[in-house]
Amino acid sequence: MIECLKDFYALDNIFNTSNNTNYKFENLVGLNNYECIHPVKQRKVYEIANLLLKDNVGKHITDIIVFGSATTLFCSSFSDMENNNFYKNAWVKGVRVYEQLSVSC
């Protein structure tokens, strides 16, 4: 697993995707910005966002932003561990999957 991650990090350096560049994947959900969520996490993010919005009775949620390895090529069970250097880069980039536009008067 460690060797595989080293290969991904090398690939990331070649493509220079760590610096404010979002990865693009196949959009399995069909909603805006989900193509920036790793395919193995798209449905789970969709389910969580729907649960949050369903319980948002007072309409207090204005944005839902996904951070961490779910927005990268390096999505794994261990990629967001605090002692991982990738952790710092993954949390810098977030993907907005929901935005409530304010009503103008």
**CA–CA distance, 9 with 18 (Å, rounded to integer):** 10
Spell out the domain ranges in the chain: 2-98
The whole model's pTM is what? 0.63
- Residue 67: strand pairing partners: 94
Per-residue confidence in pLDDT tens, the chain, 105 aa: 556 566 656 666 655 555 556 788 999 999 999 999 999 899 999 999 999 999 887 788 888 988 877 888 777 766 667 666 655 665 667 788 888 875 554
